[in-house]
Amino acid sequence: MLSSEICGHSTNTSQIIEWVKTMSSSLSARAEQFPNPFMEQAQAVVEFSRGLSSALKGANHQRKDAFFQFFTRQLPKQAIRELVPEFNKAVREYNRNRNKLKAMLTRGGGIQPEDKLFTVEENLKNAMRTFQRIKDLLLVYPKVKNEPARATAMNATARAGVNILKAAGYGLSAAIILASCAPPLAEVAPVPDQEDEEEKNPTQTAQDVIDGTQEGQEIDPATLEAPTADPLLEKVETGLGSNPNSQTSYVRALEIHNNESMVQACLDFVKRLDNRIDINYNTIGINQYGICYAKSDDGSQIIFDKWDANGPLYVTRAAGFDLLSKLNPQATDGKTEEDFSLEENAANTFAVLKDDQGNLTEVGVGINGQWGTTGSTELVATPTAPSANSETDLEEENLLTSNPEVISSMASDVLSGKTEFPIDLNPEQNSALIKEMNAQRGSKPVYVEAVDENNNPTVMYYNTETRQMETLKGTYEDNKEIIDQHGFDIYVEIGQNEQGLTTYVHPDTGEEIAVENSGGIDWDWVGDKSNINNGYIDPETLKNQSVDFAINQNNEKVVQVIVINKDIASLVSSQGMYFDYNCLETIIVRNKKLGIRTFIGPSGGMDLVIEGSSEEEALGRFKSSDQRKKIKENVVYYVIFEQNQPESWERSKQTMDPLENVADAKDTIEEMLSGHSTDGVVILRSPVIILRKNK
């Protein structure tokens, strides 16, 4: 009705402003007649925390920027297929948490402690990072030649009315009413909103923050797809789309570093080949070092995007066959060149000769572009990764460890969950990547703000030297300089020594330590009742009543961890008041190369079993020195985790949610084990731990 009233009038400036004033007075009068029953309670919760406000605003800002880039860049189909679903998923997460905040503000009773605002903040931060990373990836692609039509949902008169309303200081709700007067137009590319007015206001209510953000809009991939006019581009897109190397974080890092998509790089390469390529080269791909190639259908030649004065690098089956005939005549006896093919993605080489049984031979092409034996100095064992720039030869230095932009991009991909932590890195690369992951996450302290008996603000923080929670007067901001000195890293370097023992670099001291009982360990193993009797754990230990009940009756999981400190870490949990919660400080190993610092506390109490025995010892809650002395450091324990961690906390009437920089408890242990992108330190509960025996 309101919409029809305004639409029925001419929309000159004075009439619009006069109408808005009239409607404002009318609405105010109605509000006085029908007071909001929740207003008094809502006034008690005036502001969101600075972190939550920043997370919501930041997610909204990055979302709009990323959305706009989708419509202003020339995107290959592969990029659309990959990035649009990820963007839409982040939009749904953003909308879900924004709507959750809106609901908290409008319901009776206001915001409550159980609302878990910290969880909402972390979810919004994750969405913000996803939007920002997608935007960065989109910026790699060239702009469209013609600026897209600007999105509009209103006619020119209504848009003028909105501008007038903004200038007069009225809210957008009236502008939306004006907009509804216009007939809907075809959906076109949007334009980023101007800077929100509330961004300039340093003091904002929670409602101001909500009102200053917008509901996220998902993207229909069909609106971005356009017929490919260039058949060569279609061939390149198809080739790279089916090539697993194009999905790796390393290739994505090179794209950002060189400001060029791999599709464009490979298209340029194929076009540059000129007459060197013909219809027999229908396979276009990219190798594990980000080098484009064209491969003949019969497997006899591969041309790599590695150029010198003589042109690109040609790798021929004939040359490999000749060398193999000289080095190992028996391997080629009775065979011809046609019995072999070229493997372009063999480890540590550009290409390797493969026999008719599919087995790799001992000859291949190294980074110098020459054939040689895979064990000779002619083929470097770990070739350096090349630049994606087709004009640049392979460098002798390792690009991953020497170029901060590349490693930064790879770390961002891993932390965001876009890609798994790579397992084929050498020790130097592994170390560089983990250090960058820690740098991007930041060394964050664990703390919680509270009040004392006189209702004065205090802050408790985990002192990394005393391994206790200590209390300071004032807020975190008042004591930030002191508290931030006790931040710590989450991600840990994992390796293996010559004796086959797992090693780790202690996250606090930097010392490389061998784990004495880790011989023969399989870090991928996670136990449950389906595999617990396969002999991995001594059968005698499985007879223990607590172990048997936890696994076979409660369906709990068994995970291997490294205890990195024999001294107990004393945190706090909330039960209305704060109480000590003593924990073991451990590392959970992921992908054999990455450790995640994890605190493990008792579920009610904790029992200790020594593998090979069915007897148990009570560790309780680590209150006594006798209980604490039973813990060993730099050794492996099997830890039994309850599947539903939130339910376990709820049963105990405890929660860790108020603590800052602590990860939210996951619904299942599988979710905790499958990710490594947490911003907070992980705290888990366990009823039983088992000291692994040497094997």
Q: Tell me: pLDDT of 350 over 70.
A: yes
Give CA 617 to chain center in angstroms. 40
Q: What is the mean pLDDT of residues 446-470?
A: 93
Identify which has the larger pLDDT, 173 or 629.
629
* Max avg pLDDT among 38-47, 242-251, 483-492, 588-597: 483-492
pLDDT for 480:
94
Q: What is the mean pLDDT of residues 371-381?
A: 57
Out of 277-281, 300-304, 407-411, 626-630, pick the least confident. 277-281
pLDDT for 335:
92
Q: What is the mean pLDDT of residues 235-240?
A: 81
Identify which has the larger pLDDT, 331 or 261.
331
Separate counts of helices (H) and strands (E) for the chain? 23, 20
Phi–psi pair at 460, nearest 5 degrees:
-105, 135
pLDDT for 219:
92
pLDDT, the chain, mean: 77
pLDDT for 551:
93
What gap in Å lies between CA 333 and CA 331, rounded to an integer?
A: 6
Q: What is the pLDDT of residues 78-133, one digit of tens each?
A: 788 889 999 999 999 999 999 988 888 777 656 666 567 778 888 899 899 999 88
pLDDT for 111:
63
What gap in Å lies between CA 559 and CA 601, rounded to an integer?
A: 14
Q: Tell me: pLDDT of 244 over 70.
A: yes
Q: Tell me: pLDDT of 286 over 80.
A: yes
pLDDT for 625:
87
Identify which has the larger pLDDT, 143 or 432.
432
The sign of the CA dihedral 620, 626, 628, 629 is negative
What SS3 class is residue 472?
strand
Give the angle 405-409-414 at the CA atoms, nearest 5°.
Answer: 150
Identify which has the larger pLDDT, 273 or 286.
286
Q: What is the pLDDT of residues 52-72, one digit of tens each?
A: 888 899 999 999 999 988 888
Q: Do 464 and 488 form a contact (C-beta atoms < 8 A)? A: yes
What gap in Å lies between CA 695 and CA 693, rounded to an integer?
A: 6
pLDDT for 598:
92
Phi–psi pair at 88, nearest 5 degrees:
-65, -35
Render 306-366 in DSSP notation, one character per residue.
EEETTEEEEEEHHHHHHHHHHH-HHHHTT--GGG-EEETT-TTSSEEEE-TTS-EEEEEE-
Q: Tell me: pLDDT of 491 over 60.
A: yes
Please list the residues that pair with 579 across neighbouring strands. Answer: 573
pLDDT for 11:
47
In 3D space, the residue among 355, 383, 387 whose CA is nearest the CA of residue 369 turns out to be: 383
What gap in Å lies between CA 491 and CA 513, rounded to an integer?
A: 15
3-state secondary structure 544-605: CHHHHHHHHHCCCEEEEEEEEEEEEEEEEEEECEEEEEEEEEEEEEECCCEEEEEEEEEEEE
Q: Tell me: pLDDT of 576 over 60.
A: yes
Q: What is the pLDDT of residues 162-202, one digit of tens each?
A: 333 333 333 333 323 333 333 333 333 333 443 444 444 55
Out of 180-194, 371-385, 446-460, pick the least confident. 180-194
In 3D space, the residue among 498, 502, 493 whose CA is nearest the CA of residue 524 turns out to be: 502
- Indicate the pairing of strand 502-505 with strand 594-610: unpaired
pLDDT for 489:
92
**Residue that the structure tokens 């930064």 belong to:** 408
What gap in Å lies between CA 448 and CA 129, rounded to an integer?
A: 25
pLDDT for 60:
92
The length of the chain, given as a count of residues: 695
Identify which has the larger pLDDT, 664 or 317.
317
Q: What is the pLDDT of residues 405-439, one digit of tens each?
A: 677 878 887 888 777 787 767 777 788 889 989 99
Q: Tell me: pLDDT of 390 over 60.
A: no
